[in-house]
Amino acid sequence: MKILVVDDYATMRRIVRNLLSQIGHLDVEEAGDGIVALQKLRETQFGLVISDWNMEPMTGLQLLKEVRADNKLSGTPFIMVTAESKTENVVAAKQAGVNNYIVKPFNADTLKQKIASVLG
């Protein structure tokens, strides 16, 4: 399964990629922002998107809304990653159609559990 990791910090993308490899997911692509992510999603089939919330120029929430509004992409499983655990953010992400939510910092076990809950 191909996974797209979206974060504007290269270090965070590397951390998520390393955690994914620890739990057996090696087919991983990266995007440095939501606009690049959307282009990649429209060009390639991904089985999962793991996106940071706080990015410029397109936030993870905006990316999620774009994905859900696109008939071809709308069913793509989407996990939001954020440093903020504000209730209103969780609610906004749920209303936009997020499949799951991870609060930083997190480890490989947490990531594995969240992916399992999304993909079954």
- φ, ψ (nearest 5 deg) of residue 92: -60, -40
- Residue 65 makes CB contacts below 8 A (sequence gap 6+) with 96, 97
Query: Which pLDDT tens digit goes with each residue over 48-82?
Result: 999 999 999 999 999 999 999 999 999 999 999 99
- Say yes or no to pLDDT of 33 above 90: yes
> Is pTM, for the whole model, over 0.95?
yes
76 part of a folded domain: yes
Number of domains comprising the chain = 1
Closest to 86 in 3D by CA, of 61, 119, 49: 61
| pLDDT for res 49 | 98
**Residue 80 in domain:** yes
Note whether residue 74 is domain-resident: yes
118 domain residue, yes or no: no
Q: What is the pLDDT of residues 3-21, one digit of tens each?
A: 999 999 999 999 999 999 9
pLDDT of the residue at 120: 84
CA angle 37, 42, 45 (to 5 degrees): 95
Q: What's the mean pLDDT in 26-33?
A: 97
Is residue 56 a part of any domain in this protein? yes
* Structural domain boundaries enclosing 103: 3-113
Distance CA 34, CA 55 (A): 8
